[in-house]
Amino acid sequence: MIRFMHRYSLFLILSVLLPYSVSAADTNGTWQDAANRAEELKHAAQTHAAEVRNIITRDHASLARELADLKKTAAQARGKAAALETELRALRDEETTLERLLEGKQGTMRKIEGTVRDNARLLLAAYGNNPALSLHPEWKPKLTTLAASEQFPALHDVTFLMQSLLHTIRESGTMLRREENVHTINGATETARVLRLGALQTAYTAGDETGFLLPRPDSPLLQAAPLFSDSDTKTAIRAAVTGTDALPMDFSGTSLIANPTTPRTIMSTLSAGGLFLWPILVIGIVGASLVAERCFVLCRTRINGRQVLLGRRKDITQNTGTPAERVAARVRGDGAPASVEALEKRLEESILDELPPLERFLQTLRVLAAVSPLLGLLGTVSGIIQTFRVITEHGNGDPKLLSAGISEALLTTEVGLFVAIPLLLCHHFLSRRVNAVVTDMEVTGTALIVERAGETGVRK
């Protein structure tokens, strides 16, 4: 195409220069020369035009072939592009499938890694309560490294952990008697005869000292448990260590042996109750004394108003006998005639005189019964405040630090209710007894007034 443009430009230049050539011929030569010259130029132009046409034809054919080749190449490229797109979609689908498979594999690997670490931590924690692990102190550094590592465990680590678990399981069901060094109750290291019952329990006897053994996390040697056994238990342990009798078992996982319970006494309970427990106890003692005194007095006070009216006793004075008898004596007076108003006034005065000895300490009992639970509530608030103070200073990780405040809160409430409820019941029954005596006096006095009014014919 470029060659065609070059030759076509040359043809145009010759066509423009032709008239100037003819003019020059007219001036310098003859017409014949000019015609010959023109004929030559024409022939040259025709020849050149033919060459140009040939060139154009060849270039056109060449361009057509190139265009066909380009179309073929484009078709092939489009086919390849379609194939590549199909392959790309297949690769993307395969990538998605592989990503999902990778996520599943990674989840499995994380589970395996977590399982390995958890089992390593469990074995490390078991060093504090599994006597069988004290036989393998060389495992502890490897287990510590395996439990703290953030990398995926190697095959030899998994194999070591599996073998350790299998050894622990097998030795946990094995009974072993042998002599070994232990830490006795006073902290000394002595050689003792030891009976190992797998992971359940370990007993020993060393001279006069006999008891149970516990593993120590910081030492491969077992140490004596703080549980002080009685003589029968020691005898059974010695017999079991020598192989002649059964061993007393602790199925709580050595928690009872490691943390023996302290027997509760009255003084330990009172000391755990805090400051506000003592006033409640004083209230209980005072209230019990008052109830005993009131029961003694009111039970000796007879209700005999009916007998007084039927017996017609005349020898009763205002200072002797039962309340009903004394009221009857005051209503009768000296036997002189009196109006109904005067008799009623005598009755009221006599009953008012009899009430103070009967109602003595009843209001005090009522106040004590009301104050006792309030003191218990105050002790509860004090215990809760102490608990929160301990949590603020030491956190809530150790339950033993919180037990003092909780014990104070619960014990004061319990003792306060234990004192208040009996006092309220006793106050109720004593009040009913006083009301019965007062009613008996009123009935007796009223009957005498009615009888006196009928005898004298006096009307209100």
pLDDT digits (tens, 9 = 90+) for 163-182: 888 888 887 777 778 788 88
Going by C-alpha positions, the residue among 230, 105, 114, 237 that lies closest to residue 177 is: 237
Please check the confidence at residue 23 and state whether its pLDDT lies above 60: no
SS3 180: strand
pLDDT band at 336 (very low <50, low <70, confident <90, very high): low
* pLDDT above 80: residue 271: no
Residue 402's Cβ-side half-sphere holds a number of Cα atoms within 13 Å equal to 11
The lowest-confidence range among 145-149, 154-158, 173-177 is 173-177
Q: How much is the pLDDT for 368?
A: 94
- Asked if the model's pLDDT at residue 26 lies above 60, the reply is no
Residue 15 in this model has a pLDDT that exceeds 60? no
- Predicted confidence band at 399 (pLDDT cuts at 50, 70, 90)? low
| 281 residue type, one letter | L
Highest mean pLDDT among 129-133, 149-153, 235-239, 441-445: 441-445
Q: Which two tokens stand for residue 272?
A: 């755990």
Q: Reply yes or no on whether the pLDDT at 41 is more than 50.
A: yes
Pinpoint the alpha helices (H) of 301-398.
Answer: 305-311, 323-332, 340-359, 362-394
Per DSSP, the three-state class of 197 is: strand
Amino acid 265: pLDDT: 64
| CA separation for the pair 116, 108 (Å, rounded) | 12
Lowest average pLDDT, out of 71-80, 185-194, 215-224, goes to: 215-224
> What pLDDT, on the 0 to 100 scale, is given for residue 230?
66
Q: Tell how strand 219-224 and strand 175-183 pair up.
A: parallel
Which tokens is 313 given? 């006793």
Instruction: Of 275, 277, 297, give the one whose Cα is nearest residue 356.
Output: 297
Between CA 297 and CA 42 the distance in angstroms is: 169
What's the distance, Cα to Cα, between the start and end of the chain in Å? 158
pLDDT score for 146: 82
> Which amino acid type is present at position 75?
A
Give the long-range contacts of residues 354-357, CB within 8 A, separation 24 or more.
Answer: 354/323, 354/326, 354/327, 354/437, 354/438, 354/441, 355/438, 357/297
pLDDT band at 2 (very low <50, low <70, confident <90, very high): very low
Tokens of 460: 């209100």
Residue 337 has pLDDT above 70, yes or no: no
- Residue 291 — very low, low, confident or very high, per pLDDT cuts 50/70/90? very high
Neighbours of 358 (CB within 10 A): 20
Average confidence (pLDDT) over 299-319: 68
Half-sphere exposure of 175 (CA within 13 A, CB side): 8
Top pLDDT among 130 and 460 is at 130
Candidate from 17-26, 121-130, 309-318, 382-391 with smallest mean pLDDT: 17-26
Contact 319, 326 (CB under 8 A): yes
Looking at residue 263, its pLDDT comes to: 59
Residue identified by tokens 């390593």 is 120
| Residue 416 near residue 287 (C-beta atoms within 8 A) | no
pLDDT at residue 454, rounded to an integer: 67
pLDDT value at 343 more than 60 = yes
Q: Are 10 and 48 in contact (CB under 8 A)?
A: yes
pLDDT attached to residue 237: 74
* pLDDT at position 25: 44
Please tell me the total number of residues recorded for the chain in this structure: 460
> How far apart, in whole angstroms, are the C-alpha atoms of residue 16 and residue 18?
6
- The model's confidence at residue 460, banded by pLDDT at 50, 70 and 90, is very low
Q: What percent of the chain has pLDDT over 70?
A: 79
Confidence of residue 458 (pLDDT cuts 50, 70, 90): very low
Q: What is the reported pLDDT for 311?
A: 65
Rounded to an integer, the average pLDDT of 302-324 is 67
- For the chain, give the mean pLDDT: 78
CA pair distance 300, 447, nearest whole angstrom: 24
The residue type of 45 is A
At 204 the three-state DSSP class reads strand
Residue 442 and residue 351 in contact, taking contact as beta carbons nearer than 8 Å: yes
Find the mean pLDDT for residues 301-318: 67
Question: Angle 353-358-360 (CA atoms, 0-180°, nearest 5)?
Answer: 105
Distance, CA of 367 to CA of 370 (rounded, Å): 5
Tell whether the torsion through CA atoms of 437, 441, 442 and 444 is positive or negative.
positive
Residue 101 confidence (pLDDT) above 80: yes
Average pLDDT of span 390-414: 76
Using the predicted structure, report yes or no on whether residue 427 has a pLDDT greater than 70: yes
The closest of 193, 192, 198 to 175, measured between CA atoms, is 198
pLDDT of residue 456: 60
Angle subtended by helix axes 399-456 and 277-300, to nearest 10: 20
Percent of the chain surpassing pLDDT 90: 16
Task: List all residues 6 or more positions away from 240 whose beta carbon is below 8 Å from its beta carbon.
Answer: 195, 203, 246, 247, 248
Q: What is the pTM of this model?
A: 0.48
